Amino acid sequence: MVYLFRVPYLAAVKTFVLFDIDGTLLYSEKTDSRSFATSYEAIFGLVFPTIDWTKFAEVTDHVIFRTAFYDHFDRYPTEDERVTFEDHYLCDLAASREKRPEEFREVPGSAELWRRLEADDRFVPGIATGGWQRPAAIKLAHVGIPSAHPYAGYANGKFSRVDILNEAIELAGAVHEIDRVIYVGDAVWDVTTTQKMGLPLIGVRRKGDHDELRRFGADRIVTDFNPPQAFFNHLEELLA
């Protein structure tokens, strides 16, 4: 149990439930990663090194792009170069979703779970993703989850996932009496980030390969969010 804020006696205390996007709220079948790589190659004329994100020091769009660019050009990109790349990436993402919408479906139950959390006075839902804000908005809108959420952390200018989570936590804490945060994510780096921060994690592994996260210390893992009550049971047990 993690307490982040000292709240007044009898205040309406809420729990901040913070979600990753890719592999957690929606599937992308690595198409997004390939769009990232092909956009880089189209703009800069060089082969992107890898879409195995574990090869990068931090799994954020900011770090991944800067690392690849530095390795090729022995300098970091200007903001204009980054925006040019992101614009191309956005167009490619949008086109992919129009051509193959079936590849970008929600993780079963995620949109309904989001609505239930918003309607429950005990909880505040939020977003913390290693992606930039504009691509994230396209992905969320595609599966019916609010794409411009007020309590969200993105990779824009961020060098670590800890910074991203902290941004979302600070935004929520400025509006609500938040005393606990629970993160929901699908990847090994979600486990290691929450361990660094002392936060509880609910893992998501759509293929049922729960052992992939258990090996790194995750002990609460779901395959999807159906039925929603099963997820709420995990929340309530963590808060007991």
Confidence of residue 178 (pLDDT cuts 50, 70, 90): very high
75-107: pLDDT as tens digits: 999 999 999 999 999 999 988 888 887 778 899
Share above pLDDT 70 across residues of the chain, in percent, rounded to a whole number: 95
Average pLDDT over residues 19-32: 90
Q: Residue 113 phi/psi, 5° resolution?
A: -60, -45
116-134 pLDDT per residue, tens: 999 999 999 999 999 999 9
Q: Model pTM?
A: 0.91
- Mean pLDDT of the region 190-199: 97
**132-142 in b/e burial notation, b at 16+ Cβ within 10 A?**
bbbbbbbbbeb
Averaged confidence pLDDT in the chain: 92
Scored b (16 or more CB within 10 A) or e, 77-111 reads: beeeebeebbebbbebbeebbeeeeeebebbebbb
State the pLDDT confidence band at 2, using cuts at 50, 70 and 90.
very low
Bond into 227 cis (ω within 30): yes
What is the predicted pLDDT for the residue at 31?
86
Return the sign of the alpha-carbon dihedral for residues 48, 95, 100, 104. Answer: positive
Alpha helix (H) residue ranges in 130-183 = 133-142, 161-173
E strands within the chain? 13-19, 123-128, 152-153, 177-185, 201-204, 221-222
- Those residues with Cβ within 8 angstroms of residue 120's Cβ, 6 or more apart along the chain or in another chain: none
d(CA 19, CA 197): 15
Residues 67, 70, 71, CA angle at the centre, nearest 5°?
85
Q: If DSSP codes are grouped into helix, strand and coil, which group holds residue 128? A: strand
Distances (CA, A) of 185 to 157, 188, 210, 217, 220: 21, 9, 12, 13, 11
| Token pair recorded at residue 93 | 């993402």
Distance between CA 85 and CA 77 in Å, rounded?
A: 10
What is the fold, at CATH topology level, of the domain defined by 13-27+105-239?
A: Rossmann fold (3.40.50)
Q: Whats the size of the chain, residue-wise?
A: 240
Segments making up each domain of the chain, as ranges: 13-27+105-239, 31-103
Can you tell me the mean pLDDT for 153-170?
97
Confidence of residue 111 (pLDDT cuts 50, 70, 90): very high
Average pLDDT over residues 11-31: 89
pLDDT score for 100: 82
pLDDT over 80 (residue 29): no
In this predicted structure, what is the pLDDT of residue 10?
A: 38
- Does pLDDT of 8 surpass 70? no
Q: What is the mean pLDDT of residues 12-16?
A: 89
Report the pLDDT averaged over residues 172-182. 95
Name the pLDDT band for 12 (thresholds 50, 70, 90): confident
